Amino acid sequence: MEDMTNKDVRESYTEHRLCYYDGNSRCVLVKDEETPFPEGKLIVSRTDLRGIITHCNQAFVEMSGYTEAELIGQPHYILRHPDMPKAIFKDAWETVARGEKWHGYVKNLCKDGRYYWVYATIILNVRAGNAVSCTSVRRKPSRTQVDACIAYYAQLKQAEV
């Protein structure tokens, strides 16, 4: 996956290098600017079992800032924000792999360096008894819960160092 560049992200931003579970890494440019969640909508995507995006709805495309063509075939971590602790995603993958539903609050990174908070639910898609993919649905989160997560995630991030 390509590094983010100042072609897409205008000043001012901070630069971070993120290392992902599969050994890849990427430079991301982050702005301290929140994009509000679209009222009444759901952000929906599907990935294969390796986390590669195979489907996303219009709300997903609009919020992420990428085109659909730029998203399909990319790892879902294209949206990873550096403020998100690795432990949250580890818990999500392990929960879903057990066949259980995962819920949690996630801060996502847009193509233009801004961010948006979601309440996400991920489930395993089972067809004829076999796990074939994952569906992820994000909805507008409670601000109270987001504020609690900001503090909690900061603690988790500190523990990672």
Partner 1 sequence: MQPYVMTVSPDFPPAQIAGWYIFNTWLQRQLGVPIHVSLFDDFASQRAVIQNDGIDLIYANPFDAAMLVREKGFTAIATPLHKSDEAIIAVAVDSPVQRIEDLTPGIRIAATDDPDVNLIAMIMLEPADLSAQNVQTHTVDTYVLVAKRLLQGQADVGFFLRDAFQTLSGMIQRQLRELIRSEIHVIRHVLLASPRLQEQHQQLRRLLPAMNTDLKGQGVLASMGLQGWEIQEQEDTEFMIDLMDTLVN
- Which span (18-26, 78-86, 91-99, 134-142) binds partner 1, by CB under 8 A? 134-142
DSSP string, the chain: -PPP-TTTSPSS-EEEEEE-TTS-EEEEEE-S-BPPPPTT--EEEEE-TTSBEEEE-HHHHHHH-S-HHHHTTSBGGGGB-TTS-HHHHHHHHHHHHTT--EEEEEEEE-TTS-EEEEEEEEEEEEETTEEEEEEEEEEPPPHHHHHHHHHHHHHHHHHH-
Which one of residues 62, 135, 156, 157 is an interface residue with partner 1 (CB under 8 A)? Answer: 135
98 counts as binding partner 1 under rule CB under 8 A: no
119 counts as binding partner 1 under rule CB under 8 A: yes
54 counts as binding partner 1 under rule CB under 8 A: no
39 counts as binding partner 1 under rule CB under 8 A: yes
CB of 133 to partner 1, least distance (A): 9
CB of 128 to partner 1, least distance (A): 10
Catalog residues that contact partner 1 under the rule CB under 8 A.
38-42, 44, 46, 57, 59, 101, 103, 119, 121-123, 125, 127, 135-137, 139-145
